[in-house]
């Protein structure tokens, strides 16, 4: 087996493997690395081959730490390989270690697209990874809990599995005159972003600057890897959502809705429109992305869980985050200083978002 770093000329080879793998994810695509490059990360793509057969691949994002000549490595929803193929995984780790030495990385963080499985978690630990304990809400880098909907059946069968209230609200939106437009142009980012700022202010989230979404448009939408959907009422945009598509999977990633007209159920109409689009593209899975793992109805995030649950998907808990320690001394310092680092980055993201220059989170 041999591993090699890839350049732009290898984009198709890399993407073909990631898109075709059962655990492939849009966040491991070549294009997502380019999106993150616009926010200060440096992408590295490694592919592992054996007799002209690809055994694994990973897109690693590198971030320089402030004040020291050290970096961190992060593979969002990666690496992509058969996690039972220990030889391939060990070979990939050795290549990452070599790259890490060159780039002065102190850790390699992964959060693979694998449901929680104690056996596989133990295998990761046997290979040198340390499992991280995160909360039940959104404390991790990526959502640990999601809803995923199988759309292999006919659309009417998929619709029939929605809860009665969800089906009612989709029909209500239609009766109230809500229409969903998917033939959006880059100009539609302006109303989308206006709605997004309204959403973030209402729900207390940070907002990146609009330039970040323009980069997503160029790297993903124009390459047919994402689509913007806008719900309108009497010709006025009242909600919008941005979905990513890669291989046979679709992910609902960014959502925005105004404070007005929420009673006409535009979010239900948008989800149904995106599910139909995913089906029309030959996809087999629709991912609603994050929900809380705390299912107590008193949890402020329970409403998000209830909304997504209404579409009949499967509640999935991923195996979580793991760190591969590359520099034990600096890693101890990282564990001590990471909370302050995250807080500082959050504050900077808030300021950049307000100024329109693009907040950043991994």
- Compute the half-sphere exposure of residue 162: CA atoms within 13 Å on the CB side of its CA: 20
Tell me what pLDDT residue 140 has.
84
- Count of C-beta atoms within a 10 Å radius of residue 280: 9
pLDDT score of 360: 34
State residue 344's pLDDT score: 54
| Helix (H), strand (E) at residue 5 | strand 2-5
- Residue spans of the chain under pLDDT 70: 339-362
For the whole model, what pTM was predicted?
A: 0.91
DSSP structure class, residue 65: P
Residue (of 44, 54, 70) closest to 18 by Cα position: 54
**Cα maximum dimension of the chain:** 62
d(CA 81, CA 319): 15
Kindly provide the b/e burial profile for residues 152-167, where b requires at least 16 CB atoms within 10 angstroms of the residue's own CB: eeeeeebbeebeeebb
**Cβ-count burial 179-218 (b if 16+ within 10 Å, e if not):** ebeeebeeebbebbbebbebbbeeeeebbbbbebbbbbbe
**What is the pLDDT at residue 172?**
98
What is the distance between the alpha carbons of residues 94 and 208, in angstroms, rounded to a whole number?
36
With CA atoms as reference, report the closest residue to 76 among 45, 100, 111: 111
- Whole-number CA gyration radius for the chain: 21
Residue 118: count other Cβ atoms within 10 Å of its Cβ: 8
The burial of 336, by beta-carbon neighbours within 10 Å (0-12 exposed, 13-18 middle, 19 or more buried), is given as exposed
Nearest by Cα to 268 from 311, 302, 228: 311
Domains assigned to the chain: 2-144+318-355 (3.40.630.30), 145-317 (3.40.630.30)
Rounded to 5°, the CA angle 171-277-196 comes to: 75
Tell me the per-residue pLDDT of 136-146, one tens digit each, with 9 for 90 and over. Answer: 888 888 999 99
């Amino acid at each position: 087996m041999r591993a090699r770093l890839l350049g732009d000329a290898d984009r198709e080879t890399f993407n073909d493997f990631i898109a075709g793998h059962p655990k492939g994810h849009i966040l491991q695509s070549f294009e997502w690395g380019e999106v993150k490059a616009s926010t200060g990360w440096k992408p590295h793509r490694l592919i592992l081959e054996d007799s002209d057969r690809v055994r694994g691949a990973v897109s690693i994002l590198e971030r320089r730490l402030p004040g020291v000549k050290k970096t961190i490595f992060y593979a969002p929803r990666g690496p992509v390989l058969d996690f039972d193929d220990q030889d391939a995984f060990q070979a990939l780790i050795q290549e990452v270690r070599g790259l890490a030495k060159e780039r002065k990385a102190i850790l390699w963080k992964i959060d693979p697209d694998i449901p929680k499985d104690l056996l596989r978690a133990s295998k990761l630990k046997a290979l040198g990874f340390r499992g991280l304990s995160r909360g039940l809400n959104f404390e991790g880098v990526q959502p640990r809990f999601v809803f995923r909907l199988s759309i292999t059946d006919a659309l009417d069968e998929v619709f029939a599995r929605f809860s009665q209230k969800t089906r009612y609200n989709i029909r209500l939106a239609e009766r109230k005159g809500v229409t969903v437009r998917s033939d959006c142009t880059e100009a539609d980012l302006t109303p989308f972003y206006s709605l997004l700022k309204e959403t973030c202010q209402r729900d207390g989230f940070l907002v990146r600057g609009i330039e970040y979404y323009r980069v997503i448009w160029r790297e993903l939408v124009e390459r047919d890897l994402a689509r913007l959907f806008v719900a309108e009422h009497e010709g006025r945009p009242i909600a919008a959502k941005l979905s990513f598509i890669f291989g046979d999977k679709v992910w609902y990633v960014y959502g925005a809705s105004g404070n007005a007209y929420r009673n006409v159920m535009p979010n239900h109409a948008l989800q149904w429109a995106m599910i139909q689009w995913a089906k029309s593209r030959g996809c087999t899975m629709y991912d609603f992305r994050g929900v809380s793992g705390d299912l107590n109805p008193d949890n402020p995030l329970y409403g998000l869980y209830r909304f997504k649950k209404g579409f009949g998907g499967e509640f999935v808990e991923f195996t979580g985050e793991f760190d591969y320690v590359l520099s034990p001394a600096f890693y101890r310092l990282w564990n001590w200083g990471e909370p302050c680092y995250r807080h500082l980055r959050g504050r900077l993201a808030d300021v950049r978002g307000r100024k329109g220059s693009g907040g950043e989170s991994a």
